[in-house]
Amino acid sequence: MLSRREFIGAGIGALAVSALGAETPKDTPKMRFAYSGTALFGAGVNPLGDRFDMTDKQMLDSLKLCARFGYHGIEPFRGQGPLPDDLPKLRAMLAETGLKLSTVSCGGDLISDKARDTIQDNFRYTRDVLKPMGCQHLKINIAGPRILERAPGGTPLDQLKAAARNTNELGKRINEELGMKMAFHPHIWSPIENERETMAILEMTDPRYVGIVPDTAHFVLGKMDPVKFLRDHYSRIVAIHLKDTDGKYRNWNGPTPTMDEHRKRNLYQPMGSGGVDFVAFFQVLREHNYAYWVNMDYDAARKEEGTLEQQLAVNTRYLRDKLKVDLKTV
């Protein structure tokens, strides 16, 4: 029997050819698929404490690999690659590879008295970077004064009210002054992790100004059903994040896995690992003719997981063979 690494590596050559030119089933909605800047550039927030700065050639090679597998764009966090300080370099790299910038993952403290600065910073960044790059939405992670630190027992109501009020204000400015959409992103270990907290933000914000970017793995790990949520709240969806997690977490009733557990073994597993019912999830997307960005939101591959190319291969194979997604559809 092949090991996981051998299994991933065995089909890379065939998959790359298939992604480029072989006949694959046509995807009905015109979804656009981006790949995470964390996976491509290997820099930024990393629970293992790893960080390295890539050369221009390494960044360009990663983007070329992403394009070779058929992806349409990238979605980095702020500070990954030539963002936001060197837009001419980024434009040139994207132009050379034919990729687009779906958006840049932003956010910050939207709960404490620092929220005013967070609103202004995200508005400026959207105005000066995202809009000129052709992006149509801002995606934010709602944090508190201490990043990735939750209150015991979950986020209290007064903090949820503050988060909703400040998120709504940012979304209103983004919409009315820039003509763009804005959405928040529930994330384990953040103040918005579970169904109670997610629904509080949705219920206390104006749908005209605040949408949501659900992440399939974060929903499962936060004990939410991503398929049911998509069906029930499709009108609030702005964009989609995809990743899988271990099958044991499907219908999980235990405590949210900790950051220490994530350090020991990656919670973010390749598509097809069993935590997420992607077939049902894509059925809902297709029922609604979803036609916007889907981001493969993976971290950089750890040493035991192989290479970026192997990560791209296994996820792209699952999209093509199991979900019948044709990445050549634009």
pLDDT in tens, the chain (330 residues): 334 444 344 444 444 433 333 333 444 448 999 999 999 987 544 444 555 578 899 999 999 999 999 999 999 999 888 888 899 999 999 999 999 999 999 999 999 999 999 999 999 999 999 999 999 999 999 999 876 678 788 999 999 999 999 999 999 999 999 999 999 999 999 999 999 999 999 999 999 999 999 999 999 999 999 999 999 999 999 999 999 999 999 999 999 999 999 989 999 999 999 999 999 999 999 999 999 999 999 998 888 888 999 999 999 999 999 999 988 753
pLDDT value, residue 25: 40
* Token pair for 306: 């192989």
Q: Does 209 reside within a domain?
A: yes
Q: Does 20 reside within a domain?
A: no
Asked whether the beta carbons of 34 and 139 are under 8 A apart, the reply is no
Q: Does 17 reside within a domain?
A: no
pLDDT value, residue 23: 36
* Distances in whole angstroms, Cα of residue 28 to Cα of each of 19, 67, 326: 17, 21, 9
pLDDT value, residue 83: 86
C-alpha closest to that of 54 among 80, 74, 35, 86 = 80
CATH number at residue 153: 3.20.20.150
**DSSP per residue, 179-211:** --EEEE---TTSSS-SHHHHHHHHHTS-TTT-E
CA 251 to CA 26: how far, in whole Å? 31
* Token pair for 172: 């209103």
pLDDT value, residue 304: 85
Handedness of CA 258, 259, 260, 266 (dihedral sign): positive
Q: Does 329 reside within a domain?
A: no
Q: Does 178 reside within a domain?
A: yes
- Look at strands 105-109 and 137-143 and give their pairing: parallel
CA 290 to CA 284: how far, in whole Å? 9
Q: Which residue has the tokens 């973010």?
A: 268
Neighbours of 248 (CB within 10 A): 11
- Look at strands 293-296 and 32-36 and give their pairing: parallel
pLDDT value, residue 156: 95
pLDDT value, residue 51: 54
C-alpha closest to that of 210 among 193, 198, 226 = 198
The model carries a pTM of 0.89
* Distances in whole angstroms, Cα of residue 300 to Cα of each of 135, 278, 285: 24, 22, 27
Backbone phi, psi, residue 181, to 5°: -95, 160
* Token pair for 205: 């914000």
pLDDT value, residue 203: 98
Question: What is the DSSP-derived secondary structure letter of residue 127?
Answer: I
* Token pair for 177: 């002054």
pLDDT value, residue 24: 35
Q: Does 327 reside within a domain?
A: no
| Number of domains, the chain | 1
SS3 139: strand
State which residues form the domain around 116: 4-12+29-250+257-321
CA 154 to CA 6: how far, in whole Å? 41
C-alpha closest to that of 73 among 93, 45, 46 = 93
